[in-house]
Amino acid sequence: MSRHPMRLGTLSLAGLLLATPGAAIVGTVAVYAVSQAAEPSVVAVVLPDLEGMHPSVREQIREAHRALLALEPEDRSTAYGQLGTLLFAGEYLVEAETCFRNAQRLAPDVFRWSYYLGHVYKSTGRLTQAVEQFEQALRLRPGDLPTLVWLGQVLIDLGQPKAAELLLADADGRHPDTQSVLFQLGRAAGAMGDHEEAVSRLEAALELNPGATMVHYPLAMAYRGLGDLERAEAHLGRSGRAVGAGVAVTVPDPLMADVNTALRSPQAFWDLGLYAGSLGNWPEAVRQFQSAVELAPDVSALRLNLSLALNRVGEARFALEQLEEAVRLEPELALAHLEMGALFERSGSDPEAIDHFTLATTHAPGLVEAHLRLADALRRTGQVNASLASYGQVLKLDPGRAEARFGEVMALVRLMRHRDAVTRLREALEHHPGEQAFRQALSRLLAASPDPMVRDGAEALALVQPLTADGATTAVAETIAMAFAEQGDFLEAVDWQRAAMSGAAGAGHPEVAQQMAVNLALYRTGQACRTPWRDDAPEHRPGPIVEAGLLDPGP
């Protein structure tokens, strides 16, 4: 029986990301055997070869086996279940099945043994038997949310989406606004060809947790079924499949949590760290991940997630050390290079950031975030033509990525390609009609471009004025002043420019107000602005606020 590698989750800035480690932790090949016991109702459990296990895990399983044998046969139900839980956690599924079967025979009314057997059969692909056990679990505990979700998933996988839909509708009634239920309802609808219902359910699931990237794949298929290929491609690019990973949809599942934390192993500490992170308890996450790394120091994925937790508690320098060790162990670990680039970016070390973002895109060409970070870093360091290529790659992978569309426009502005920038902005507004940044940027170009073939003061004013409905920001007020000046209404331009300057000063930026005085002087002398953005405008410097000394060694 081939063992599975350790299940690892990777925490990301957006949320929890499943990653496959480069090395197995909990074991190698399992050697197992079962023999008929003296009692006809139970099967004796012979432990598998545990030499590939971590020593603490090996002893834990052996101790549970000794405790089982020390009991009278009729008193062994719970002990069989406890041993089965450890074996299940170690992915010795044949022996785990034997233990849970014995526990179930001795105590047929105990919910957890049927529930665990359902998971064992699901894990080994025996879906019909999984259905039988999950149904038995529901008879013992009607309405149990995890059982309804898992049974629904198995029925969909068996090609019985209608039966799954009936169960999941019951779950939705008992537990409304549960992401896992909506996700499975969406899968069931898609399997039945009801793509509109699938989109409705899956979009609702995604809204509850936008970080669950695995929702994107069935959602992409649903949009494809509706003929909306653009949205389909956008969701496919965000599904995580391009990099062999994705953030799963989870259901609160205390019994499986018991399995995942049963062993004193790297995986157990890892799961505890993931759980702490999901609750926002990052100090506890750090402690659990450190314990995992101590037991398995050569697994790069462990160090990657430890670094992410360290970063959350403000230990950027130690986070970088873990990332450096992760890429030493696995030089092609793209996510580690992405996080290293992000740390260097925050510290103001753009050359190092660009190096690591480039490595991330090289090792994982489908990693959209790395391409976007690289494009922004190239643009703010003056490598504008190169940034255009990276923004283009982002939009190829994720056409709906608004940040990339805006970055591309501002790169074209830097290159004085204002006509191309206007064309891109009009396209962007078609995709994102409610995005104020695109509307304001187009207004500025129409009002203040030095290219007379671009300027249109009336359209500029019509575009920007609706943005004052809830009060004008400093940037909007400055744009309106540009539009009025282009139309020759310099009195209005002066008033709006003064309002913009007052807003900047009131927000604690007197230096910005002083820079705005250049345009005020133009308007007072009857001249229009021909500089849509100053060279030092924040639109030309994308990226995080630089934190000086972020990566300096401590005292």
Tens-digit pLDDT profile for residues 294-318: 988 999 999 999 999 999 999 999 9
pLDDT of residue 262: 87
Smallest CA-to-CA distance from 16 within 183, 204, 213, 148 is with 213
The three-state secondary structure class of 261 is: coil
pLDDT of residue 241: 57
Domain extent listing, the chain: 262-421, 422-540
Q: Collect contacts of 392-399 with beta carbons under 8 A, ≥24 apart.
A: 393/361, 394/368, 397/237, 397/242, 397/366, 397/368, 397/371, 398/234, 398/237, 398/238, 398/368, 399/230, 399/233, 399/234, 399/237, 399/431
- Fold: same for 262-421 and 422-540: yes
Reported confidence tier of residue 163, pLDDT bands at 50, 70, 90: very high
**Alpha-carbon span 457 to 462, nearest angstrom:** 9
Beta bridge partners of 17: 10
Reported confidence tier of residue 238, pLDDT bands at 50, 70, 90: confident
* Architecture of the CATH domain 422-540: Alpha Horseshoe (1.25)
Q: 551: burial class by Cβ within 10 Å (0-12, 13-18, 19+)?
A: middle
| 87-91 mean pLDDT | 93
pLDDT at 530 over 80: yes
**Alpha-carbon span 432 to 413, nearest angstrom:** 20
Of residues 198 and 243, which shows the higher confidence score? 198
pLDDT at 196 over 60: yes
The three-state secondary structure class of 252 is: coil
| 263-282 mean pLDDT | 85
pLDDT of residue 270: 86
The three-state secondary structure class of 22 is: coil
Question: How many CA atoms within 13 Å lie on the side-chain side of 137?
Answer: 25
**Which H/E stretch holds residue 12?**
strand 8-12
Tokens at 395, concatenated: 């939009």
**Alpha-carbon span 464 to 450, nearest angstrom:** 19
Query: What's the pLDDT tens digit per position in 388-435?
Result: 999 999 999 999 899 999 999 999 999 999 999 999 999 999 988 889
**Alpha-carbon span 217 to 238, nearest angstrom:** 8
Query: Helix-strand-coil percent breakdown of the chain, rounded to 5?
Result: 65, 5, 30
Beta bridge partners of 15: 12
pLDDT at 387 over 70: yes
Q: 19: burial class by Cβ within 10 Å (0-12, 13-18, 19+)?
A: buried
Class of domain 262-421: mainly alpha
The three-state secondary structure class of 381 is: coil
Alpha helices (H) in 192-263, listed in sequence order: 195-208, 216-225, 229-237, 254-260
**Alpha-carbon span 37 to 25, nearest angstrom:** 32
Smallest CA-to-CA distance from 323 within 349, 341, 347 is with 341
Using alpha carbons, list the distances in angstroms from residue 52 to 56, 90, 93, 300: 11, 11, 16, 19
**Alpha-carbon span 426 to 154, nearest angstrom:** 46
| 104-118 mean pLDDT | 97
Of residues 527 and 30, which shows the higher confidence score? 527
Mean pLDDT is lowest, of 189-193, 230-234, 367-371, 520-524, for 230-234
- At what angle are helices 127-140 and 145-157 packed, to 10 degrees? 160
Beta bridge partners of 190: none
pLDDT of residue 19: 34
Q: 308: burial class by Cβ within 10 Å (0-12, 13-18, 19+)?
A: buried
The three-state secondary structure class of 209 is: coil
Smallest CA-to-CA distance from 81 within 108, 55, 56, 104 is with 104
pLDDT at 240 over 60: yes
Reported confidence tier of residue 25, pLDDT bands at 50, 70, 90: very low
Distance of CA 141 to the CA centre of its chain: 33
